[in-house]
Amino acid sequence: MDLLFDIFRVDSGWQAFFTILDMTIVFIVIYRVLLLIKGTRALQMLFGLIFILIFFYISQEDYLNLATTHWLIDMFIANLIIIVVIIFQHDIRRALAQVGRAPILGGARSYEETSVLEEVVKACVMLSSRKLGALIAIEREADLSHFTEEGIKLDAVVTKDVLFTLFLPEHQNPLHDGAVIIQKGRVSAAGCFLPLTINPRVEKTLGTRHRAGIGVTEDTDAAVAIVSEETGTISIAYEGELHRDLDANEMRSLLQKIYRAGTSSAPAGSLFERLKVSLQDRGTPAAPSNDEAEKDEVSS
């Protein structure tokens, strides 16, 4: 107990308790902030701000002695709170909206199961054959809940029939005009509106549906399946890039590659176990018989 008092520089048990409580609260806040921005471009901006703070420290007279640079960064840091609010305004709004709706120590989201991706592939093939437009956003690490607020909440099992029905362009079906969002392996909402890309390099011939698919992937790590209403072609938007004119097998391979990269990036276990899993993944041969069976299922 005396050692604990010396570590925290306190005189009594109550002071040690409140010190530990204070450290725990700070840890939880930092953990939740990192969990909130994980998989979004806000995380890259955060690393940029940390780099600026480090450079501000080493540019002092005692180190690099960069007087002008140090003064310029000092002016920047003086308005840091305003800058952070402007840069992270969407993430701050999402965080405040989630206060009280989720547990403080909620676990990480599980990645989409292969069956969910397969149902998305089959649904896109069905929609493509009939030239029915579709926009399906699949959540990964970044939370897409703020996009579902203006949509219609569903919470349905992901099947090709459900997805196909949601995009039927009937006057009695108001859900077809918008995006379907899949969260935690379930159809979370339909009729959602996604932000359009402002990238000037995007082709002018692309319509609103493709621009919305690209736009949401510029700010999050979601994968978006897009079916063109004019041509019936299938595309996948990911990390601000559009992969166009995909068939069923190409679409399946791309989606599996996207989610396999996420799940294998940090496997559980020791360093030896992670190295073993990585070598096993590289040495596992492809199974053409399964691909042929999946192709037959999609074509049927």
pLDDT above 50 for 73: yes
Tell me which range, 73-82, 269-278, 282-291, is most confidently predicted by mean pLDDT.
73-82
**Cα–Cα distance, 162 to 157 (Å, whole number):** 8
Report pLDDT digits (tens) over 165-205. Answer: 999 887 667 777 889 999 988 999 999 999 899 888 888 88
The pLDDT mean for the chain works out to 77
Ranking 88-97, 150-159, 175-184 by mean pLDDT, the lowest is: 88-97
Strand partners, 234: 227, 246
Query: In terms of DSSP H, where are the helices of 59-168?
Result: 67-78, 80-87, 89-98, 114-129, 145-148, 160-166
pLDDT above 60 for 127: yes
**Cα–Cα distance, 245 to 228 (Å, whole number):** 10
Strand partners, 223: 138, 238
Determine the 3-state secondary structure of 32 from DSSP.
Answer: helix
What does each C-alpha distance from 173 to 3, 124, 154, 167, 239 come to in angstroms?
68, 18, 14, 8, 31
Number of neighbouring beta carbons within 10 Å of residue 192: 23
Q: What is the predicted pLDDT for the residue at 113?
A: 60
Report pLDDT digits (tens) over 200-221. Answer: 888 888 899 999 999 999 888 8
Q: What is the predicted pLDDT for the residue at 11?
A: 66
Q: What is the predicted pLDDT for the residue at 65?
A: 83
| Cβ(247)–Cβ(148) below 8 Å | no
| Cβ(27)–Cβ(105) below 8 Å | no
What does each C-alpha distance from 127 to 173, 186, 237 come to in angstroms?
16, 19, 17
**Residue bearing tokens 């459900």:** 162
Structure-block tokens of residue 117: 């991706």
pLDDT above 90 for 106: no
Determine the 3-state secondary structure of 41 from DSSP.
Answer: helix
Quote the percentage of the chain above a pLDDT of 90: 29
Q: What is the mean pLDDT of residues 87-94?
A: 69
The model's pTM is 0.58
Q: Which is higher by pLDDT, 297 or 185?
A: 185
Give the β-pairing of 223-227 and 241-246: unpaired
Report pLDDT digits (tens) over 254-275. Answer: 998 888 765 544 444 444 444 4
